[in-house]
Amino acid sequence: MLAFLGLVVASLLALGASAPLQGTSTRKKLLLVSFDGFRWNYDQDVDTPNLDAMARDGVKARYMTPAFVTQTSPCHFTLLTGKYIENHGVIHNMWFNTSTGQKLPYYNTQRVSAWWDNGSLPIWITAQKQGLKTASFFFPGGNATYRGEEVNIKRVEKGGLLHKYNNETEWRENIDLVMKWFTKDNLDFVALYFGEPDSTGHKHGPESQQRKEIVSQVDRTVGYLRQSIKDHGLNSALNLIITSDHGMETVQKQDEIHLQKVANFSFQDIQFELVDYGPHGLLVPKPGKLEQVYEALKDAHPRLHVYKKEEFPKRFHYANNTRITPLVLYSDPGYVIHGRLKVQFNKGEHGFDNEDMNMKTIFRAEGPAFKRGLEVEPFESVNVYALLCKLLEITPEPNDGSLNATQHMLLRSAGTAMISSPRFTWEMALVLGSQLLVWDAWSRLLAMGSW
């Protein structure tokens, strides 16, 4: 009888450990799409029938608040890790070394694993460690190695002047390949990146006709993507999230901030500078010069904010990292920071305060896990990661977000087969019931002394 009791307990333990119970996972696939620099209200002055249809069939956030600094690589790494930028350490689009003065531009920085792999694992690697197959298509962070492991399949954006970022045909080919990855290669998670409408927003400004046209192109691409998902029979097997990293602000060309012209300030006193990058600046004064530089700059321009690292406003969750320099600068919406020479000519820019409405971005989702026709209140992008992990049924790494911010988007049945938290299901009840029936018969036999 004790042996039999052991058998029952063992069966129940086995059930708990091997959820989901059906033998084949109920896990849905997940496609995370980012259209770089898609401001939250870009669909309000352009006809966007496909994004509208997606909102009717799924969930739309009024807007999403990105992390600060509102740059591409830092904000995408927040999506992938669920951490504020000071906690994941990818604090700038550019890799730099304050001792040697070396800097690398955005595309070259994609290859510098040490810049990305500094303590936080992106969701690709966490998912792979838990048995899933993943891919990155041009996604920032997708070209790095993390603790010796890289994403299963990747495509890396080349960058440079020759690459045409807004080639709609190429966008569709990229989607076709992603569909193949899901259907033929049976991937669980793909992160897919498009460099627009960011490029057009920078070049022509967020209020330009060109920006409206590229948003129409994004919308057609969303239509093509949704139709492809249908055509590949993935409708009930794949959850789709479309989001972005930040918005876009029109650049002010009057009353500009130009450090070279500030009285009592000299680049002679600076050991390392990273300025001329929109509204953001990092400075390392030469030894003994910090106070002097700080005093010269702090009231230099009413639109310029200069902080010692330790006094940088906590709400930005940005300065508490060893990579942040002793002085941190940022400027008000629309104003960029020029350094020695004026070399910034963009009509649109980002990198501003994440509370600036023009930095807010989009979040849309649909698929078997999501409610339909639901518009939700804004939330911070740091919470997206917890949602991705829930959808993929994986255990998240420690992060700064919470599923509480997004859980109300999900249907009750979504992601119930979490391996880390098996639920008591009908299958378990049936098995337990049948075991108890056997037990009962067994007891009766024993009581009858027929053994």
Are residues 5 and 213 in contact, defined by beta-carbon separation less than 8 angstroms? no
Nearest to Zn ion of 194, 312 (CB atom): 194
CB of 406 to Zn ion, least distance (A): 22
Are residues 141 and 76 in contact, defined by beta-carbon separation less than 8 angstroms? yes
The region of 33-41, 60-68, 372-380, 437-445 touching Zn ion under the rule CB under 5 A is 33-41
Q: Per-residue contact track with Zn ion, 204 to 243, x per CB under 5 A?
A: ----------------------------------------
The region of 66-74, 105-113, 274-282, 326-334 touching Zn ion under the rule CB under 5 A is 66-74
CB of 71 to Zn ion, least distance (A): 7
Nearest to Zn ion of 245, 353 (CB atom): 245
Strands 238-243 and 29-35: parallel
Cβ-based burial of 236 (10 A; exposed 0-12, middle 13-18, buried ≥19) = exposed
Residue choice 245, 349, 366, 393 for contact with Zn ion (CB under 5 A): 245
Q: Does 36 bind Zn ion (CB under 5 A)?
A: yes
Q: Does 331 bind Zn ion (CB under 5 A)?
A: no
Question: Active-site residue among 48, 70, 72, 361?
Answer: 72
CB of 390 to Zn ion, least distance (A): 25
Q: CA angle at residue 378 from 376 to 381, to 5 degrees?
A: 115
CB of 246 to Zn ion, least distance (A): 6
3-class secondary structure, 309: helix
Nearest to Zn ion of 72, 143 (CB atom): 72
To the query of whether residue 395 is one of the catalytic residues in this protein, the response is: no
Residue choice 48, 70, 72, 78 for contact with Zn ion (CB under 5 A): 72
Strand blocks (E) in 181-339 = 189-194, 238-243, 249-250, 257-258, 270-277, 280-285, 304-308, 327-331, 337-338
Q: Which one, of 258, 239, 225, 228, lies nearest residue 344 by Cα?
A: 258
Tell me the CA end-to-end span of the chain in Å, nearest whole number: 11
Find the binding residues for Zn ion in span 120-179 (CB under 5 A).
none
Nearest to Zn ion of 106, 224 (CB atom): 106
Nearest to Zn ion of 188, 245 (CB atom): 245
3-class secondary structure, 163: coil
* Residue 442: how many other CB atoms lie within 10 Å: 13
| Residues touching Zn ion, count (CB under 5 A) | 5
CB of 389 to Zn ion, least distance (A): 23
Listed as own residue / partner, the contacts of 424-427 with beta carbons closer than 8 Å and 24 or more positions apart are: 425/19, 425/21, 427/15, 427/21, 427/22
Q: Does 349 bind Zn ion (CB under 5 A)?
A: no
CB of 333 to Zn ion, least distance (A): 16
Are residues 162 and 218 in contact, defined by beta-carbon separation less than 8 angstroms? no
| C-alpha to C-alpha distance for 113 and 111, rounded to whole angstroms | 6
**Shortest Cβ contact with Zn ion: which residue?**
72
| C-alpha to C-alpha distance for 382 and 247, rounded to whole angstroms | 16
Looking at residue 426, its amino acid is W
Nearest to Zn ion of 198, 393 (CB atom): 198
CB of 198 to Zn ion, least distance (A): 5
Nearest to Zn ion of 86, 196 (CB atom): 196
Q: Per-residue contact track with Zn ion, 172 to 211, x per CB under 5 A?
A: --------------------------x-------------
| C-alpha to C-alpha distance for 386 and 395, rounded to whole angstroms | 9
What amino acid positions are annotated as catalytic residues? 72
List of residues contacting Zn ion (CB under 5 A): 36-37, 72, 198, 245
